[in-house]
Amino acid sequence: MEKLVAEVPELAKSLEGWYSPGIRVGNLVFLSGLAGKNRATGQILPSVEDQIRQIFADMSTILTAHGAQLSDVVKMTMYFTNRKRDWPAFDRIRRELFLSHPPCTIGVGVTEIALGADIAIDAIAVVT
């Protein structure tokens, strides 16, 4: 199967390192772990809620570039530096975005995320 990497110029300044933000193989789209960064500066946003909302906005942008949308996400892994504190905000926002049939998820506690982010999320989507 062919591996497709779509350009996502809107995220160029907020992507750090040498990696693909998303890759489509067949009808699957794999998203790299995303942190909630300001698209213009690449700096981590100040609140965990802002970070989470930006992560989902960036996910949506990457998915759209690969012919998918948030509702196509079937699996997410969330990495929290403080899961107990940040889970309620994540869960509230997730419920706003996935009104029915939310993706399979796991929340993992970690000691550190790049650039001091509070949360990072990766995902897999199935293009329908």
Q: How far is CA 82 from the centre of its chain?
A: 18
Kindly state the average pLDDT of the residues 84-92. 96
**Residue 38, pLDDT score:** 93
| Average confidence (pLDDT) over 20-37 | 94
- Report the domain count for the chain: 1
Which tops the pLDDT comparison, 96 or 15?
96
The whole domain housing 73 covers: 3-126
Neighbour-count burial of 127, counting CB atoms closer than 10 A to its CB (0-12 exposed, 13-18 middle, 19+ buried) = middle
Q: What is the reported pLDDT for 4?
A: 83
In this predicted structure, what is the pLDDT of residue 72? 97
Among 10, 18, 80, smallest CA distance to 52 is for 80
- Inter-residue contact 48 to 100 (CB < 8 Å): no
CA distance 55 to 73: 14
When pLDDT is cut at 50, 70 and 90, the band that residue 19 belongs to is confident
Tell me what the pLDDT averaged over the chain comes to.
Answer: 93
Average pLDDT of span 80-105: 96
By CB neighbour count within 10 A (0-12 exposed, 13-18 middle, 19+ buried), where does 68 fall? buried
What is the pLDDT at residue 9? 78
Q: What is the CATH number of the domain that holds 83?
A: 3.30.1330.40
